[in-house]
Chain A
Amino acid sequence: MDFVRNFPCISIMLCLFAGIISSGLRGKAAMLVNAALLVTNTVLSACTLAYTLAAGESFVYVMGQFPAPWGNEIRAGVLESLMALFFCIIMLLSLFGGRHKLIEGVEEGKLYLYYVLMDLLLSSLLALVYTNDMFTAYVFVEINTISACGLIMIRQNGRTIEAAVRYMIMSLLGSGMLLLGLCMLYDLTGHLLMSNIKESVAQIVAEGQYTIPLIISIVLMSVGLCIKSALFPFHAWLPDAYGYSTVSSAAVLSSLVSKGYIFLLIKIIYRVIGFEIYRDSRIIDILFVFGLMGMIFGSLSAIRENDIRRMIAFSSVAQIGYIYMGFGMGTEAGMTASVFHILSHAATKSLLFIAAVGLTDVSGRNRQFIELTGAGYRNKWAGAAFTVGSLAMVGVPMFSGFISKLLFSQAAVQNNTKMLPALIVLGISTILNAIYFMKTVIRIYTPVEDTPYPSMTFRNMPLYAVVLVAFIILNVTLGVSSQPVVDMIRQGLAMFA
């Protein structure tokens, strides 16, 4: 066996070890451990990606002495390693970009706990990505939920505590539904391993004896993961959680945590239930409708918002709606578009959060738009980055958002029944996106005479500027040379089946 096959297991275990050891370190040392961990994991995931691309097939890795239905197992293919690579890069950039706010907003004695939570969050994300076993997935969903709560409330003020409580209630509801669906599925199939469940599910559907509980368990799992990833009617926890937590947490939560759950749902659709059975169960129609509603109502709420961080948070609701709309198409093309949008939204949303904090910093920490007038001149790096992020979100060519919108429309055109609503709502949502993002861009580039606030230059914040440049490069790369990534996604989805 090639040594590269050990890398997924090594990267998950490294995260857990780093978290455990960091709990005995001081803030600074824990930060270094975390940075080293993220760099190592980026390299390991890149190697796995290269290996799976070269091999052209996925591989399973037995965690222990016992083969699959008895022991634990993880599985790595192109899509899994691509996601892992992306998650590591974005987490690294978000943490570096928000570091100054973190040191400012968190009690010094508790800083190390933040990095412990981050390490364990990364481990759970990687495990959700690589897992081939439903119960392993549930265990790491738990770790993910608890660490996300910690990330929200580490900047202690009333708002974040309230947001964390809200997040916890909604998120635990989602976990409970996932567990309930999982139990029913186990009762029907007698397996926890994804590939075995899929065989049994195909058999159940063919025999037609247990169809009702099967459908209900699929619904429970889907709804549970929708709640956790803030699909439209379940998004009430989102604006406070993203709007008031420290900026790295907001970036990581919006671009990684919710995406981890969505990726788990993709895995369930393809590897547990089977794509055809899931499509024929009509659940995707409900996902489609709620996705469309989310695209419009999320944008409308964002337009009404007067606080830049909450506006970006509401924009997440709309973007999650796009992803679920792609699921709802029920075609391979729609799924490819959704997966690409996961990547592009992750790269863009974290950029927007990090850039917004630079803008508010040069406006006396006010988040109201009136105070942000001319902030793009006072902090040129953040202004440029925010503009790039906004253009990407709106879907201007050259940036990542354009490609995902293109893929969504292509997928919509291929689908006869859902073409019209999908295209209309896509158009409306793009206009709404443009309204609130361009409004902000115009606002930050409106010249203002004799401002009381100081400006920021590269010298004040070298790390922050470098991170923003890296984010911009990532975004433009995704937008300009998207074809290899799309090919990888197609190849990865083909490996799932």
Chain B
Amino acid sequence: MSRLKSEEEYRKTPAFRFFRWLSGSKDPYVGKVEMQAQQETVIPEETIIERMRESEMIRDKIYDKTPNRAARMFQRVYVAVAIFFCIALVGVLLLAVSCLPPNGNADNPVNNTVSERYIESGLQETGALNIVSGMILTYRAFDTFGETNVLFIATCCVMILLMLDDAILKREAVSNDRRFEPKNDTILQGVAFILCPVIFIFGIYIILNGHLSPGGGFSGGAIMGSGLILYVAAFGFKKTQRFFDEHIYKIAKITALCMYGLIGTYFYMTGANGMDNHIPLGIPGHILSSGIILPINICVGLEVACTMYAFYALFRRGGL
């Protein structure tokens, strides 16, 4: 026998909230989402007049080339030479392209023993179903280590430009964190709550399956980095710093790069000195296979994810 709920109890059920939302009597986001109209910037009239006078002065006095015939002449010649140069360059490059071997021809110079061996014996030699992974991480492992270091050094340069001192960071923590975004955006948080785990798992899947299917460290790391960025955008730096702060960022980055470096050095040195490298290739198609590719993919993935997140955090508030 069903029992009629009292009015008090009925108000707590989801059904009540659903019908209330359906009828439009109460908006659930009112009061929860920060709904602030942007402050209108009022520029005093004197400032506008001042600015107009300055720009007029700059235009008339400093950049005025009418009395200076040589400068005007130079300007015209410069433009003409630049246009001529660009057209000439385009012409030369088009000429070069028209003389290159036609695309897709079977007897092009590109179809030689190098690509033949990659395609034909790549699977036996690297154990990777994904030829691209096998090529960049085994045959040409040194180049890829260089590329990973390009990412690393790019982060260092961005840090030089944008990193703020700890003191400034603490003082301006709140304003920097939430300068343009609304605080605790419920919609964003709800979506991030659902999407973040999926994105992370997808990124991990792509990294771990780098030797089996399209993907690998670079693409998987980028996906994980974007998941981190979504999390920060939704929940703010304070919550992110519980599991990913500057300290952990440094540890993750240094461990990943050092691991890659150590694996790489071991691989180069044993190979060059004619020794066996004792890393089993496993059975192609299994998740634990293809020798050094899987650990290197994990390292590259970590590094790329850290780099993506660090770029976002440095651009947004000047610190991690």
Binding site for B on A (CB under 8 A): 1, 5-6, 9, 13, 16-17, 19-21, 23-24, 61-66, 69-72, 107, 109-110, 113, 116-117, 120, 123, 127, 133, 135-136, 139-140, 142-143, 146-147, 149-150, 153-154, 156, 180, 184, 186-191, 200, 210, 212-213, 216-217
Q: Which of B108, B153, B161, B264 contacts A146 (CB 8 A)?
A: B153
Specify which chain B residues have a CB less than 8 angstroms from the CB of A136 in the assembled complex: 142-143, 146
- Seed contacts A24-B250, A216-B92; 13 additional CB < 8 Å A-B pairs: A1-B272, A1-B273, A5-B272, A16-B145, A61-B272, A63-B141, A63-B268, A66-B271, A70-B117, A109-B165, A120-B149, A190-B114, A213-B100
In the complex, identify which listed stretch (B194-202, B203-211, B251-259) lies at the interface while the others stay far away: B251-259
The 5 closest A-B pairs by CB, nearest first: A139-B146, A65-B271, A72-B142, A190-B109, A216-B96
A211 to chain B, nearest CB (A): 8
**Inter-subunit contact B272/A69 (CB<8 Å):** no
CA distance A464 to B107 in the complex (A): 62
Specify which chain B residues have a CB less than 8 angstroms from the CB of A62 in the assembled complex: 268, 271-272
Which residue in chain A gives the minimum CB-CB distance to B144? A139
Q: Which of A13, A65, A188, A216 contacts B265 (CB 8 A)?
A: A13
Specify which chain B residues have a CB less than 8 angstroms from the CB of A17 in the assembled complex: 258, 261
Specify which chain B residues have a CB less than 8 angstroms from the CB of A19 in the assembled complex: 149, 152-153
CB within 8 Å for A20 and B96 given contacts A107-B165, A190-B108, A191-B112: no
Interface of A is mostly: helix
Which residue in chain A gives the minimum CB-CB distance to B115? A190
Q: Is B56 an interface residue (CB 8 A)?
A: no
**Inter-subunit contact A210/B261 (CB<8 Å):** no
Q: Is B138 an interface residue (CB 8 A)?
A: yes
CB within 8 Å for A113 and B160 given contacts A20-B257, A61-B272, A71-B139: yes
Specify which chain A residues have a CB less than 8 angstroms from the CB of B271 in the assembled complex: 62-66, 71
Binding site for A on B (CB under 8 A): 92-93, 95-97, 99-101, 108-115, 117-118, 125, 138-143, 145-147, 149-150, 152-154, 156-157, 159-161, 163, 165-166, 250-251, 253-254, 257-258, 261, 264-265, 267-274, 277
B67 to chain A, nearest CB (A): 24
**Inter-subunit contact A188/B100 (CB<8 Å):** yes
Specify which chain B residues have a CB less than 8 angstroms from the CB of A146 in the assembled complex: 150, 153-154, 157
Specify which chain B residues have a CB less than 8 angstroms from the CB of A188 in the assembled complex: 100-101, 109
**Inter-subunit contact A70/B150 (CB<8 Å):** no
Most chain A CB within a 10 A radius of its CB, from B111, B118, B125, B140: B140
Which residue in chain A gives the minimum CB-CB distance to B269? A6
B300 to chain A, nearest CB (A): 14
**Inter-subunit contact A20/B254 (CB<8 Å):** yes
Specify which chain B residues have a CB less than 8 angstroms from the CB of A117 in the assembled complex: 153, 156-157
CA distance A123 to B145 in the complex (A): 12
CA distance A146 to B150 in the complex (A): 8
CA distance A186 to B112 in the complex (A): 11
Which residue in chain B gives the minimum CB-CB distance to A217? B96
CB within 8 Å for A23 and B110 given contacts A16-B145, A72-B142, A150-B153: no
Q: Which of A123, A135, A150, A216 contacts B93 (CB 8 A)?
A: A216
**Inter-subunit contact B267/A212 (CB<8 Å):** no
Specify which chain B residues have a CB less than 8 angstroms from the CB of A191 in the assembled complex: 112, 114
Specify which chain A residues have a CB less than 8 angstroms from the CB of B143 in the assembled complex: 72, 133, 135-136, 139
Q: Which of B110, B153, B156 contacts A187 (CB 8 A)?
A: B110
Specify which chain A residues have a CB less than 8 angstroms from the CB of B250 in the assembled complex: 23-24
CB within 8 Å for A212 and B109 given contacts A65-B271, A109-B165, A139-B146: no
Q: Which of A9, A133, A139 contacts B269 (CB 8 A)?
A: A9
Contact sample, A vs B, 10 pairs, CB 8 Å cutoff: A19-B149, A21-B254, A23-B254, A24-B250, A63-B141, A71-B140, A107-B165, A146-B153, A150-B156, A150-B157
CB within 8 Å for A70 and B258 given contacts A62-B271, A64-B138, A147-B153: no
**Inter-subunit contact A65/B267 (CB<8 Å):** yes
**Inter-subunit contact B161/A213 (CB<8 Å):** no
Specify which chain B residues have a CB less than 8 angstroms from the CB of A123 in the assembled complex: 149
Specify which chain A residues have a CB less than 8 angstroms from the CB of B264 in the assembled complex: 13
**Inter-subunit contact A65/B269 (CB<8 Å):** no
**Inter-subunit contact B146/A143 (CB<8 Å):** yes
CA distance A173 to B256 in the complex (A): 32
CB within 8 Å for A113 and B142 given contacts A21-B254, A70-B114: no
Specify which chain A residues have a CB less than 8 angstroms from the CB of B267 in the assembled complex: 64-65
Which residue in chain B gives the minimum CB-CB distance to A65? B271
Specify which chain A residues have a CB less than 8 angstroms from the CB of B277 in the assembled complex: 65
CA distance A99 to B157 in the complex (A): 20
**Inter-subunit contact A23/B101 (CB<8 Å):** no
Q: Which of A65, A127, A139, A150 contacts B160 (CB 8 A)?
A: A150
**Inter-subunit contact B142/A63 (CB<8 Å):** yes
Specify which chain A residues have a CB less than 8 angstroms from the CB of B115 in the assembled complex: 190
Most chain B CB within a 10 A radius of its CB, from A20, A146, A150, A212: A20
Most chain B CB within a 10 A radius of its CB, from A65, A143, A212: A65
Which residue in chain B gives the minimum CB-CB distance to A191? B114
Specify which chain A residues have a CB less than 8 angstroms from the CB of B138 in the assembled complex: 64-66
Specify which chain B residues have a CB less than 8 angstroms from the CB of A65 in the assembled complex: 125, 138, 267, 270-271, 277
A151 to chain B, nearest CB (A): 9
CB within 8 Å for A116 and B99 given contacts A13-B261, A139-B147: no
Q: Which of B111, B117, B125, B147 contacts A190 (CB 8 A)?
A: B111
Specify which chain B residues have a CB less than 8 angstroms from the CB of A107 in the assembled complex: 165
CA distance A456 to B253 in the complex (A): 44
B123 to chain A, nearest CB (A): 14
